[in-house]
Amino acid sequence: MLTPRYPRVGWRAGRAGVTTLTGSGWCGGSVTPVADALTRLAIVLGLCAGSLVVVQLLHAVLVRIGRRARLVAELAARSHRPIQLIIVVYSLDLGLRGSGLTGAWRGPVIHLLDLIGIGATAWLFTGLLFVVEDLALIRYRTDVEDNQQARTVTSSPGCSSPSASRCASTTSSWSRASGAASRTSR
């Protein structure tokens, strides 16, 4: 019987529905488990790099829009690095969970990626809070001599207008009048 000059290569369904490359010839009949694991890891890292490219393109678009809108510029500046870290960590996390790679290292690595993801999300929210704070400081100037409007805090539910000091004085005069009326009725 003649042996084929080139090995036969085909696809077969492996465990958990994963398709693996099989063949006969030089490799001894199938792809080694190490090569299979390295292929899966390369796919995970490739998806991670692709997601970073998408984030970078989105950042470039936001910076360009931010030349005209201050809010968008602040958001792009404050959230770029945290979003990069979140995308990398969660794509690695999802890739490792879905890849079927096994080993004693898998559990601690996935746990570490989850913790880093929580920290990166907190970093992102902190940056967004700084953007809100900067917008509030722009609206209510504190560098002027009479900054009463910036220092006034109102707790009245109907006073959400920019003229908050008028609402505060109205609220305080209303409470004084109602307090006087309640004292006279006793």
Measured distance CA(108)–CA(91) in Å, rounded:
17
Paired residues of 11 in beta bridges: 21
User: What distance, in Å, lies between the first and last C-alpha atoms of the chain?
Assistant: 117
How many residues in the chain? 186
Domain shared by 5 and 89, yes or no: no
Higher pLDDT, 154 or 80: 80
User: Structure pTM?
Assistant: 0.58
Copy the structure tokens of residue 69: 């809108």
Domain shared by 122 and 56, yes or no: yes
- What pLDDT is stored for residue 24 in this prediction? 46
Domain shared by 68 and 131, yes or no: yes
Domain shared by 23 and 46, yes or no: no
Domain shared by 97 and 15, yes or no: no
User: How far is CA 58 from each of CA 62, 70, 85, rounded to the nearest angstrom?
Assistant: 6, 17, 15
- What pLDDT is stored for residue 79 in this prediction? 92
- What pLDDT is stored for residue 136 in this prediction? 81
Domain shared by 94 and 26, yes or no: no
Q: How many domains does the chain have?
A: 2
Residue 172 within a domain: no
Domain shared by 49 and 101, yes or no: yes
Higher pLDDT, 58 or 184: 58
Domain around 132: 41-139
Q: pLDDT tens digits, residue range 8-47?
A: 444 455 555 555 555 444 444 456 777 877 888 888 889 8
